[in-house]
Each structure stands twice: as C-alpha cells, then as structure tokens.
Amino acid sequence: MKRTSLLFLLTFSLFTIQPNSVEAQFGIGDAGGNGQQGNQGVGNESGGNRGAGNDARGGGSIADFDSLMELIETTVSPETWEALGGPSNMFPYPQGVYVDASGTLKEIEWPADSDSTNKLKSILVRPPAAGTSEFGDWKEPSPMRYVSLQRLLNENNFSQTETAESIDCLAGLSQVRYVFLDQDDIILAGPVGGIESHQGWYRDQTSGRTALRTDFFITCLASALAKEPFGCTIDPTREGLQHAAHIAAMVKSNNIPISAAPEEMVVALGMQQIEVFGTAGDTPIGYVMVEADRHMKQLALGVHPMPPGAKNYLDIIEQAIDQGPPQDLLLRLWFTAKPRAVRAGSDGAAFEIAGTPIRLSGQNERAVANGTRGHVTKDPRTKVFVDEFNEHWSDIRSEYPIYSALESIYHAASIAELVGRTATSPQQQELLTSLAAVDTTSRFIMPTPRQVESIAVLHTFRSKRQRHHILIASGGVAVTPQQTLPSSFIGYPSLDKHSLSETEPTASKRWWWNR
C-alpha cells in the first residue's frame, strides 16, 4: 500500500509522493537516486499599479478566494478533492518582498566616552585626506562623502531625460553612515570605496554594495512620509488554479507519471500575473522587486545554486526526511526589514546608523479542513532554510547582484524613515515634501514583466528503501519603510559637538563633497 501526502500552496506549491514502489506505480526507471527537473520562463509586458496592502509580512492574495475555492471544487470531483486534502491545502498568503520604513531602525546602547566616540568626532570634522580631492570624480574613493539634499534638489531638474550619473547614483554612496540636520538642509554622509560597473549596476569596490539610486531614495521617502508600503504581487490566475488542481488530482491518481508532472504543472498554472502597487511598475525599483522575488524562489527551489555551504529548501527537506515530508503546511517566505542601530545627539541634529537593513523571514500555518487559515505552527525545515539564507546573505549578494540592489532599497528606506521622523523644522519638512514629489518615472522607463511563467521543479531522492518525489511550483514583493527604524533613539551627547559648518565644502553651492 502506498503512502501519499500532499502540500499544495497558492504561490509556493509543494506536494510530496512517497510510494513503496515508485517504479511500479509511476513507470520510472531505477537509474539514480537523485534528480531534478525545472521549467521556467518570463513574460515581457510592462507592469501596472494597484492599491497598497496592509499585511506587514508582505506580498498579496487573490481576491474573493472563497469563491475561487468553490470554483476549483467544481472542477474536481468531491471524492478526488477530499483525497487531495481538499481546500485545507490551498490558501492565499503573503510572501515576497515587503519594506516598511517604520521597522528599519532599533535602539542600541553606545558608550559615550569610548575611543570609538573620539574616532567618530575626528571622522566628522577632519579635512580631506591626503590625496583626496574635495571635489573629485564621483566614482573615486573617499574616506567620507557628504551629500546635501537641498543642493541636490536645486542642482537638477529630475524630470529631464538625461541627468548626470552622479545624481542618479547619489554621488556614489552605497551606504549612509551619518545624517546631519541643519535648519534648512539635510546632509547624508558615508564612505565610498570607489565605484565600478558590475553586471549593469554601479557598485562600491570595497563594500561590494550597489550604489544607492536617487530615484530609489525618492520612492522610499514618498512611502515613508505617506506611511504607505509599496511592492508587487505575483499571483496565478483563476483558470490556472483550476487546471493545477486537476493536474494534482491526476498525479495523485497515477494518471500522470511523476516524471511528467513538472511540465504538466507549468502548463496548467500558465502565466502568473504581476502587479506592482504603491509605485510605478515600469521603473528600475519595480524591476528589482519583481526579479528579486522570483530569483529568491528559484534559489529556494534549486533552479539557481546557493553559495558553497548553503542549502536550498529541497536540500533541507531531503536532509530532514526522517521527520517525514511537510504535510498540511503553508510555507511563506518574504524579505523584510532588519532594524538598524541608531545613535543620536541629544539635540537631534546628528545621527549615526549601522547594520544590515534586510533579512529573509519565513512562517508556517497549519491548514485546517474547513478552508480557513489555521494557527501558526513551527516547522524546523522553514527555520533552517531562512537561517541558511540569512547566514549566507553577503555571499548571495555578491554572487547575484539583484540582491544588492534589493538591499539598497531597504537601506534607502531606513534613511528616508530617519529623516522623515527627525527633520521637523518647516524648511526641512518643505525640503522632504519637495523631494518626495519629484517624478522620476518619465526618465527611468524599464519594462517590468506583467506576466511570468510558472516554475515547477521535481526533486527526486532515495532515503533508505523509499524514493521520494517532491514537486514544487512557485509563482510577490512589498515595501513598507516604517519597519526600518525603532520608535525612539538612544541619546549620544558627543554628536552634539559636531557643527555642520565644519563639514561644508569651500564652494557653498556644491551638492556633494569629500572629507
């Protein structure tokens, strides 16, 4: 007698088949104990917009899902559907990328009289380093580079079709370490290790991080001030879910060989719909969110290799197969903010920020028979994969630049949230409002797919006397700047001693300069 379990998720679908005799029941030869097949594709239509969601865990869901489940149940006979696990195995759930600026910063204790404090003081007020030009090329390295947001706004008409690359890339800053508030200006500062072009992105040669894009910062600032997230969802169509449920039933009843299941599932699900919300879709930031979400799922499914020493989700299932396959679980994976550390002067005029702003998160919910979402449950496989991904984040970011670009969005969100909270003078508020209102969409047109083809991967392995087949089909991204900061900051009196006038360039109209 065969043992079969099924896990079918809305946009991250998994079902596992565990026969005692795979060869006899599915007609598969006995060559090899491990195998993997994949199917994928990308559409090339431009993106659209819709309203923002509210779930802080990211992504989106299918509207009127109860009606959709009834529609699917009419496609598969009740007896077969019940054998499949029924609607308890299919639910809408958020996943993808979700940036909320309010959660990007946290509180942290820093000793006020340590050596690091004295070093900080010297960094902020020191003259240009030997061999460093105060106004050199923006791609050249600098121990500390300063950017005036007021002068940046005055420097250029952002709506024109061509703008200096230095403005597009925020003078080469890949990280903002310090923020200074003047009565009528806001100044950002951070080290620059030298800028190079790498796979279509400008990146810092020392940190390996992508240079912060000014249009990314403007988008995040608008989001932070409005307290509205932005992102995207990738959802299968109603027809696709109907067909997928039917194919699952056919595989379960042995009418489709497991070897043919990936291709059949891709055809059944068809093209999945992409919607960018909260910001324009046909822009670099829209493209980055969509591509990063898709690529993360592909890494999880083994379509692309993880860095050496890191395991994908299929590897982890195989490693823990003695615990049995996942059953009746809804797996959710999403990028979210990792709150950054902030220390502030007591007068609120100087701030220092540190820490990685992004992490992958995961959660499981137990499916219940009546089709409602069940209680949150813990599955060690999900935790292991999430921990693996975060532990190897720097390696993943180096191997696949799309993640460095995604990280830069979270970095920009944390800075936007910080200045949005702390820049309270009328002049500062007017500056932020003017920046947030800048329309960069007319300059940065970058077609983002409106549809993507579904991905299905079959992973086959043998454990003891059983051969296991795991079929996963995948098909959301969201940004909420408020999650990037803590609610309050630790006072740091020594920062009060640093005057902005000590850092300003000789040419008072220059929008960026070195120290």
Domain parsing of the chain, residue ranges: 3-514
Q: Which residues face 378 on adjacent strands?
A: none
What's the pLDDT at 163? 63
* Neighbouring-strand partners of residue 39: 456
Structure token digits, residue 390 = 């975060």
pLDDT for the residue 74: 35
What whole-number distance in Å separates Cα of residue 188 and Cα of residue 196? 21
What single-letter DSSP state applies at residue 213? Answer: P
Exposed/middle/buried for residue 107 (C-beta within 10 Å: 0-12, 13-18, 19+) = middle
| Ramachandran class of 174: left when φ > 0, alpha when ψ lies in -120 to 50, beta otherwise | alpha
Residues 223 and 277 sit within 8 Å (Cβ to Cβ): no
pLDDT given at position 392: 97
Residue 506, C-beta contacts closer than 8 angstroms, at least 6 positions apart: 134
Amino acid at 224: A
Under a CB-based contact definition with an 8 Å cutoff, are residues 478 and 101 in contact? no
CB–CB of 8/93 below 8 Å? no
pLDDT digits (tens, 9 = 90+) for 307-327: 999 999 889 988 888 887 766
Report strand pairing: 105-107 vs 96-97: unpaired
Give the span between the Cα atoms of 303 and 312, in whole angstroms. Answer: 10
Select from 212, 217, 210, 214 the least CA-distant residue to 398. Answer: 210
SS3 per residue for 378-411: CCHHHHHHHHHHHHCHHHHHHHCHHHHHHHHHHH
Q: Give the number of residues written for the chain.
A: 515
Residue 338, CB-side half-sphere exposure with 13 Å CA sphere: 14
Cα–Cα–Cα angle for 76, 81, 84, nearest 5°? Answer: 130
Query: Does the reported pTM lie above 0.95?
Result: no
- Distance, CA of 407 to CA of 55 (rounded, Å): 20
In the chain, % helix, strand, coil (3-state, to 5) comes to: 35, 25, 40
CA triple 84-299-39, angle to 5 deg: 60
What averages of pLDDT result for each successive group of 10 residues across the chain (515 residues)? 32 36 31 43 36 36 34 36 32 51 60 46 50 74 95 73 80 96 93 93 94 95 92 77 78 84 87 82 87 88 92 90 68 82 82 92 52 56 91 96 96 95 94 91 70 80 78 53 58 50 57 90
Specify the residue for token string 């993360």.
Answer: 296
pLDDT tens, residue by residue, 187-200: 999 999 999 998 88
Q: Would you state the pLDDT for residue 70?
A: 38
Task: Specify the pLDDT at position 227.
Answer: 92
- pLDDT at 17 (0 to 100): 39
**Chain segment 212-246, per-residue pLDDT in tens:** 999 999 999 999 999 988 887 777 777 887 787 78
Give residue 133's pLDDT: 56
Angle between helices 426-436 and 401-422 (to 10 degrees): 150
